[in-house]
């Protein structure tokens, strides 16, 4: 049947643009905690957003036990066996995450009869969307709110255009294509030192590439997080919460910014690949200590700023030129995962724009925002609980980001009902650890006491550092 020439009119309580991790976590709370009707629209054919186009060897960077949607477990409860994450909680593979989201949509959301899902449709704003396949246009009226779950604009290597030129005759690929190599090159140049650059280097080493055959273009050294401290099961209580306590104390006791980062590294909160280089980047990437050791075997590290162009014989960078060969594979890892750092109020009249309200936790953030939407009356009350934790890029951003997080944590701690809801939510990893504290477990209680004592002092210190940053900017 040809498409109708005028848009098909639809009505639902909520219209959600985007069925990525954030749209799904938000919708899940509406589905389970309300009787709302929902329209979900997405450009991809399956839910899960960027996981649809992730590189084949991608894995979650953190444990699966607190990723996904609140109502469905993603983790199998297994631990990684062997390899560079041996003994740490399972980090699901990309295909497992995609299958999980498909399952949640098909077996949880759609059977309620309250969710209408429009995959392969582009949302063009104001309730309008169009099918990629038939060209049919639609107009959806949201009787309650529209939710823009596309705001963070995740950029992944497969969908990103590099910001440098690549001449004909250069062997160049996104890291997605590494497993398709059939013709061994002279060597590899990995462009980018964010999480995908790290993953590309680790993949090459895991496939027995000689570290000497890898050139790693690192425009900025990064502060990284130790994966051992993101574990939310009892054996890791002292790693995860102990490091939280040490992190708060390090900030509280710091005499200036540089001293704060030194203390954060000394206490194990931060790590870096090259301890002789001062980090300028902080994206919240997570690695294991064994991965850091493996990365340190790569010694051809080029620190000349961003790449500007690649020809078959030369790589031009902002700070100079290095030689390459036509038979070298250049691996593009320059996509920044989350590109949209514009901050908007989360609640603004009939529009909700989910953003991060807890550091490193996009899906937990989306779930909290949906809960707040359902349970509070005014945007003022809601935004007071959902201050945006800005996505970090530079090391200075750590200050703004941690301060915003502490402010939200404080606001939540003052609200008993919300506190209880968070404690029961599967996406809140810390509650799982806190629940392991027995009545006379003095050692564990000492850790939580340290956190409680240091948090306000850390917040006060971050206010001071933030004022200095604001003054520098003015
Ligand atoms: C490799 C990798 C590993 C990660 N690991 C973790 C982890 O371990 N733990 C963790 O907490 N987070 C992790 N993250 C972060 C997290 O998975 C998401 O990147 C983040 O939550 C952003 O999700 P999103 O839903 O906003 O974005 P996306 O996944 O990009 O979803 C947005 C969706 O909106 C759709 N869309 C956009 N514009 C339109 C339009 N106009 N019309 C219709 N649809 C549209 C897109 O098709 C997409 O499906 C990881 C990210 C990456 C890249």
Residue 34 maps to a domain:
yes
Q: Say what the pLDDT of residue 1 is.
A: 67
Nearest CA to ligand 1 atom 35: 18
Residue 340: per-residue pLDDT: 59
The answer to whether residue 341 scores a pLDDT higher than 60 is: yes
What is the rounded CA–CA span in Å between residue 383 and residue 324? 52
Ligand 1 centre from 421 Cα, in Å?
25
Say which residues have a Cβ less than 8 Å from residue 149's Cβ, sequence separation at least 6: 16, 17, 18, 19, 20, 22, 23, 26, 354, 366
Under the banding of pLDDT at 50, 70 and 90, the label for residue 156 is low
Measured distance CA(122)–CA(141) in Å, rounded: 16
Does residue 330 surpass a pLDDT of 70? Answer: yes
**Contacting residues for 427 by C-beta, under 8 A, at least 6 apart:** 25, 66, 67, 68, 69, 70, 361, 363, 364, 367
Within-domain flag for 379 = yes
Identify whether 138 is part of a domain. Answer: yes
List the CATH number of the domain containing 59. 3.50.50.60
Residue 74's domain spans which residues? 8-154+339-391
218 domain-assigned: no
**What confidence score (pLDDT) does residue 337 get?**
64
Token reading at 345: 């109020």
Rounded average pLDDT over 413-435: 94
Q: Note whether residue 426 is domain-resident.
A: no
Q: Please tell me the distance between residue 183's alpha carbon and the centre of ligand 1 in angstroms.
A: 33
60 lines ligand 1 (CB under 6 A): yes
In the predicted model, what is the mean pLDDT of residues 137-143?
98
Give the pLDDT mean for 426-451: 93
Comparing 148-157, 279-288, 346-355, which segment has the lowest mean pLDDT? 148-157
**Cβ(308)–Cβ(164) below 8 Å:** yes
- Domain total of the chain: 1
Pairing of strands 128-131, 307-310: unpaired
Q: What residue owns the CA closest to ligand 1's atom 41?
A: 123
147, part of any domain? yes
Question: 387 CB less than 6 Å from ligand 1?
Answer: no
Q: Evaluate if residue 157 carries a pLDDT over 80.
A: no
Task: Return the DSSP state at 107.
Answer: I
Residue 296 has pLDDT above 60, yes or no: yes
Q: Is residue 459 part of a domain?
A: no
Beta pairing partners, 353: none
User: Does residue 43 fall inside a structural domain?
Assistant: yes
Using CA of residue 174, residue 179, residue 184, residue 187, what is the dihedral sign?
positive
């Amino acid at each position: 049947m040809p498409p109708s020439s005028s848009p098909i009119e639809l009505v639902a309580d909520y219209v959600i643009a985007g069925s990525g991790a954030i749209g799904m976590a938000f919708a899940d709370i509406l589905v389970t905690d309300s009787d709302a009707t929902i329209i979900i629209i997405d450009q991809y054919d399956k839910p899960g957003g960027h996981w649809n186009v992730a590189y084949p060897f991608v894995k979650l960077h953190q444990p699966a036990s607190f990723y996904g949607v609140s109502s469905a477990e993603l983790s199998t409860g297994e631990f990684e066996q062997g390899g560079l994450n041996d003994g740490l909680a399972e980090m699901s593979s990309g295909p497992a995450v995609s299958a999980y989201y498909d399952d949640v949509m098909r077996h949880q959301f759609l059977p309620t009869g309250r969710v209408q899902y429009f995959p392969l449709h582009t949302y063009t704003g104001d309730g309008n969307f169009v099918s990629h396949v038939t060209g049919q246009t639609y107009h959806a009226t949201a009787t309650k709110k529209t939710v823009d779950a596309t705001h963070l604009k995740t950029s992944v290597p497969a969908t990103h255009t590099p910001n440098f030129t690549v001449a004909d005759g250069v062997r160049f690929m996104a890291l997605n294509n590494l497993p398709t190599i059939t013709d061994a090159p002279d060597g590899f140049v990995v462009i980018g030192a964010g999480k995908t650059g790290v993953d590309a280097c680790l993949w090459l080493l895991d496939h027995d590439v000689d570290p000497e055959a890898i050139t790693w273009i690192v425009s900025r050294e990064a502060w990284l997080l130790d994966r051992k401290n993101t574990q939310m099961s009892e054996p890791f209580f002292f790693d995860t919460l102990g490091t939280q306590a040490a992190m708060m104390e390090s900030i509280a006791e710091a005499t200036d910014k540089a001293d704060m980062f030194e203390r954060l590294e000394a206490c194990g909160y931060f790590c870096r690949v090259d301890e002789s280089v001062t980090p300028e980047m902080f994206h919240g990437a997570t690695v294991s200590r064994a991965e850091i050791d493996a990365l340190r075997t790569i010694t051809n590290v080029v620190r000349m700023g961003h790449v500007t162009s690649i020809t078959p014989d030369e790589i031009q960078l902002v700070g100079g030129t290095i030689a390459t060969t036509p038979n070298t594979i250049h691996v593009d890892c320059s996509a920044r995962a989350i590109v949209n750092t514009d901050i908007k109020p989360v609640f603004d009249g009939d529009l909700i724009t989910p953003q991060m309200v807890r550091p490193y936790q996009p899906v937990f953030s989306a779930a909290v925002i949906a809960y707040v939407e359902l349970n509070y009356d005014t945007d003022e009350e809601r935004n007071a609980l959902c201050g945006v934790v800005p996505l970090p890029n530079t090391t200075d951003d750590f200050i703004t980001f941690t301060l915003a997080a502490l402010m939200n944590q404080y606001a939540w701690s003052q609200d008993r009902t919300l506190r209880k809801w968070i404690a029961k939510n599967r996406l809140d990893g810390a509650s799982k650890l806190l629940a392991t504290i027995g009545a006379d477990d003095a050692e564990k209680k000492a850790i939580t006491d340290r956190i409680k004592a240091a948090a306000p002092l850390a917040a006060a210190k971050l206010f001071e550092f933030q004022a200095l940053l604001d003054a520098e900017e003015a």
